[in-house]
Amino acid sequence: MENTIINKQKEIVNLIINKSLKDSKFKDSLILNPKEAINNCFDNKITFKDKIKLVVEDQSDENIVYLNIPRNVGADNYELSEEELEKVAGGATTTPVCVGIAVYVICEFVDGFAEGVSDRLK
């Protein structure tokens, strides 16, 4: 079930990114008010906790380099599974690499997004 949720989340993120690359009005609204734009895009089926801050940054200018500093999750105490080690060793990535719009999420996006998506998958 967890893999299904993760795959669904990736699918949703890819849909949002692809739509923003094709539809400049959607891209503009996504940058100005990401929660509202995403809710409208999915007929209010995806919800976010109020405390979640969603930041969308247009990264299409190749002369600007962006650096995302993630929250500290105690990486020193984290060990990769055998499957994750194989993917890293083989050069694979578990997240889609996207050019153009990058969605940066602050606070507890994963929890909020997972809740919003999980509720819709049941």
Query: Which pLDDT tens digit goes with each residue over 15-58?
Result: 999 999 999 999 999 999 999 999 999 988 888 888 888 999 99
**Reported pTM:** 0.56
Structure tokens that stand for 1 in this block? 């079930």
What are the residues facing 106 on neighbouring strands?
A: 53
Backbone conformation region of residue 74, classed left if phi is above 0, alpha if psi is from -120 to 50, else beta: left
Q: Which has more pLDDT, 2 or 97?
A: 2
Q: Taking the chain, what is the end-to-end CA distance rounded to the nearest angstrom? A: 10
What are the residues facing 57 on neighbouring strands?
A: 102
Distance CA 92, CA 101 (A): 22
Instruction: Count CB atoms within 10 A of the CB of residue 76.
Output: 6
Q: What is the Cα gyration radius of the chain?
A: 16
Domain boundary assignment for the chain: 2-121
Q: Which has more pLDDT, 12 or 70?
A: 12
